[in-house]
Amino acid sequence: MDFLKRMTEVIDYIETHINEDIDYTDVAMIVCCGVYQFGRIFSYVVGVSLAEYIRNRRLSLAALELQTGNAKVLDTALKYGYSSPESFARAFREMHGVSPKEAKGMTLKMYPRITFQIYIKGAVEMDYRIEEKSSIKCVGKTYHIIKGEDVCANAWNQYLDIKDEKTGRTPNETIAYDFNLDRAPIWQVGVSRVLDDGSTVLSIGAKAGDAEYPGFDMFEIPATTWALFPGKGKVIEGVSAMFAKIYTEWLPSSGYEQSMQYTVEIYPPGDAESNDYAFEIWIPVKKK
């Protein structure tokens, strides 16, 4: 019920600020998680991304104003966050099939405000274990994310795909092959930490050894009690679904609550596009 209430508050916030530049960090803080995790949860629960939901709602409200009133296209475009009539017209036509100037008297689409309801269904088991862990020193790359829905995904892309001009290796390749650190039990790790101002620090790498690692950042998985959730499936869909289940199902019914604004993702070797790929998510917890 607490999560349901918070998601309703998210929709209330969006509707209240629909004509403003909505900060995804503020939205995520309503649900008490980071932007990256909230983006995954929202997409899993609602079926579209947060950005797409906001876009569809704005275009729906804009259509109502253009069809039922004497609103000017330029004023409506600016009101709903478009910098030019041209960009507004492209988005409007994509959704409604007509231009904004043709809206009056036409049949247009309405993307309704989302409401949340409780459905009673068969329980689905979730595997987990509770473990006390000492701090774990890691090395890799750290990215400070101010706001934005897909910036964390971009950080992962930089770590996995962008090659250094001098070495010709990606950060992931250097960690795995040059430093020989991509190994059990941590393998490849992503540590997400939400700061007091709502921004996110995402560190990606592996457990550090005793050597020096020039050009890389040191970071730490803090000592605490963790709930560890093994998951399976294609990385993008599987991890998003697991985060959603943790926040919507496990935390509300487990007797635990999240103790710090950290999350840890563990990615062993394997085919990340396979339905059988295994990964793990850690959430710091304490008894309620």
Count H helices and E strands in the chain, helices first. 10, 9
pLDDT band at 1 (very low <50, low <70, confident <90, very high): very low
Q: What is the tens place of the pLDDT at every residue in 123-150? A: 556 789 999 999 999 999 998 876 554 5
The one-letter amino acid at 274: S
pLDDT band at 11 (very low <50, low <70, confident <90, very high): very high
Return mean pLDDT, the chain.
87
Q: Find the range with the poorest average confidence among 22-31, 50-59, 273-282.
A: 22-31
Please check whether residue 260 is in contact with residue 194, taking contact to mean a CB–CB distance below 8 angstroms.
Answer: no
Local structure of 232: helix, strand or coil: strand
pTM: 0.75
Q: What is the tens place of the pLDDT at every residue in 194-240? A: 887 777 889 999 999 999 999 999 999 999 999 999 999 998 888 88
Residue 114: the pLDDT is: 85
Residue 159: the pLDDT is: 92
Share of the chain above pLDDT 90, in %: 51
Share of the chain above pLDDT 70, in %: 93
Q: What is the tens place of the pLDDT at every residue in 232-267? A: 999 888 888 898 888 878 888 888 999 998 999 999
Rounded average pLDDT over 3-23: 89
Q: Which is more confidently placed, 147 or 60? A: 60
Domains of the chain: 2-102 (1.10.10.60), 129-287 (3.20.80.10)
Cα 27–8–21 angle (5° rounding)?
30
Q: Which is more confidently placed, 164 or 106? A: 164
Residue 165: the pLDDT is: 87
